[in-house]
Structure 1
């Protein structure tokens, strides 16, 4: 009986772990130049890019498909670049509280997100 209770407690503790990750919404936009054809592209843009902020570890993680080529910029509230990565999948340490802007630039598209700590 003790083994059964121990196994139940172990399974319960493993399923109830709470993570302190906060999802940062990223809005994806397409870049258009004035020389482009004025026809509308009716297909929705499907770029899977997500950003997570872990308040316990103090890190911002940007993840996406490995095939997507993009650069990631992290700006503070003053517009000063805090960090940069030439690849999409990156982890940035966040040292101080405040408002941060995440800018992700790809070929023909860009994404923006706002993180408030």
Structure 2
């Protein structure tokens, strides 16, 4: 089983905004997001059911608190071994392209449809 990364370990990357992830507000957003759709939105869009373990910012917030806490800017993604690692793949693609948003990784419509059906 993969060892979880703690907020403390993330904060060591040198980005001040990583402290946001330890806030009560973020924990509540994460709980709501995973509660409304407990499966990976990317996998679901491809017809696969995979448990979601991470809450992803559709558009990277880069320390912008209002974008960080925007419920319309979060989606559940999986983060596990092998192909079940949508969160890491999305982040790697954003970093490689030097962008904060990639349309192909925006599953807000999928999340909305899932919530309407369930």
TM over 0.5: no
Rg larger for = 1
Question: Structure 2-normalised TM-score?
Answer: 0.24
Higher strand share: 1
Higher helix share: 2
Question: Structure 1-normalised TM-score?
Answer: 0.24
